[in-house]
Structure 1
């Protein structure tokens, strides 16, 4: 756009320069002709006017035609001056001949004798009178022929002067019209340049806003990716912890089942022992002391059982706390993902609205440019119709200048059409690029939304699955508690009944206590291993966070470098625009100077027209003087005839 406008302005300035050069040449040539009376060479033109690289070929041809016309005008003026000189010389010769004739006649009359001589020689007098009459007739004829030739030459010169004046007036009017058109085109070009500068500023602002939005998007995407990776890692950690807890729960369930089986066996053994106790009641009295000792041991065993039950309760509470923490983490992750999805949607909608506004602006520009193209096509058609009319009418060679001018206008219209077509194609390509970018961004946003929705659905399904497992585990724990209470009641009843057989089972209880201790030690080791694994995962997460920070710093440095490059380009474009504005101001100043010179040239042309009118008035007075002289000569000839007749008589 800027290059086409600059070329258009340069063409307009060149045309104005050519018009100025023509006016200067006319002003320099006319005063010289008026003063000296012959053609003088024009001064050397200004170098910026003679440079052919700055002027179009059609303007050069126009200049050549104008130079030829100026040369013809100068030639006709020289001829007019020569004719005036010839007329003056002829008038002088006529006056001289008239004086010589008078002198000869007077001398001849003085040399003639008196009345006697006249009466004696009538034949001599007749011959003398006839010879004088013939001489007078011949002289009058020569003077009349010369006078007629001179009048014809004067008429031709006057006709040539009128034609040249008409041509000069036509050329001046055409040049004035062209200058007015050029002024209008310059004003339009200035308005177009202002609108173009405003559009460039707006586009630069839009580009800056888009770059800022792109940077924000990149930052948001980076943060979203970091959050997604962190949430994925957390989910993986939670899933691993859940699997470990499930394994521990399975082990605990298996231990509970083994205890149930053992208790069932013990109940059977207790039934058998009760049968034996009925038989061995007599031996009980002997074993009272042993029973007391066994009661103490049972109390200690019960205390150990209570401690084991408390530990199991604590483990169940820890499991419930872990489940609640997992549920809270899942809910927080879901809320964060929802917020991120909503933010991304809002940003995408804002970008889509901005792109739609840009598309509407570009479509308006396209409509304006299409209107300009239509105008150029209409002008071209009108000019072609005028050319066809001119060719059909078949005018003279003078109309070829108008045809050349119309052809030049056609070429200018075609150039403007091509420029507008190129700019239209550029705008359409920009619109297509904007549409493709908007579609790509919308597709990317939709893919991101779909991914986030799938992640939300997966997280929700995981949460539902975890909640279901939690409910099932709670039901199992309640059932186990009920069974434990029932077992406690049964154990109290069995303690009352099985005081005698506890001594035999002390060894077995001690073995079971050792087994429980080993299981507790194993559980402690597993808890330590899990804590170590958690620490290792935390260290890995910290390393990943540091790595992401380094990458983020690198990306920020790269984006800052890009921003600096864009700023330098913007500064360069601003400097270029300032240069263009300064050039436009200089062109405007030159145009003002040219207008002043044109006003001066018009004043000079008015002066020259006044001089022409004065010269025509002088020519009219000279013709009147010639008519007077001819009348006087006729009177003289008539007087001479009268004298001759008198002499003859």
Structure 2
């Protein structure tokens, strides 16, 4: 839009210059005397001037329209910059809300650049409004002059008399000189306008480049902030992983401590159980042994007593048997020697003695049988007691073997717990190494990111300084362009004033010529 605004005035000036040159080439030069030639020359000059004034007014109107369009475009650009500034402020607020602080050196430069650019745009708009008001005043003056000139041109060219031919010729020469002067001034203005348009084009290009650089800087700032946020998130993740590793380490240590305490308690319980079982088994074995020994000793005593009694009974039986045999022998002797009275008594005595011996024998047999029965009973009781003691010993041996198996199981479980403890220690060591490696990698990543961030920050600072320098240079160019435009507008004002004065003088001269023509006609008519 600015390029179009800068090219249209130059094109209009070129068209105006071509039209003026064509009119000057086709303009007839009157050298002979005569009222009609002078009248036609003045008429052509006035029509040419009228066309030039119309073209100038049209050109100024178009220039004003273009200036308005450029002002609207600048307003739009200012609104765009305000929107960009508001977006930047919203972005800064979002960063503050996310607790991701931007770089303290980039944002002030950005704000300074944006404020400087906003001030420059405001100054440029102010200057444009002033020039627009000046152009409006000049246009009003030109319209007023044009109306006066049209009123002057409405006079009939036939009213010019022959006496004013020389004066008209002089005026024609003066108008030619003025036309040449206007052409030269127009060419100068055209050159200045081209220079101003070129400067405006350069400023526009610089402004576009600066806007592109500002956009790139904003994109780079956004990418840098995203990278910084990602770095902070990675650091947070690494810290969280380290905390989780330390928590797992503490939990593993606590589990290991609990397992070791439980293992100690179990070892103590197993040792106490083994001791109690051994003591109880030993006591029971001792008690059973004592009981068995006492019973065996008692039974042995009874057996020895019975054996003695049996031996005594056997000796008594043998003695009674000997006595009985002796009695029988005596009886046989008596039977052999004859039956006398004294022998009869002796026989009765012997018979009584034999009966007593038989009765004693029977008693002894009964006693021996009862003794044998008692011995068998004692042997059976002894065998039963022995089997019971052996069964009790086997039971105690089984309980002892079960206690030994329990001890072996407890020892195996203790070994397994020790292996698990060693495994937990190895895992804890691996977790500690992994956490240390993670912390080391996180520290390295943080240091690397800090270095990259510092390098990017330095690059952005240099870029911001370059942008500030370019902004200052563009501001200086804009101020220079504004001063040139102000000077051009001042020259236009002065030229418009001079043109107005020349038009007023021309109108007064034409009115004088008209008045003299009227007087001459009146005098001729009178004559």
Q: TM-score, normalised by structure 1?
A: 0.37
Q: Which has the higher contact order (CA 8 A, sep 6+)?
A: 2
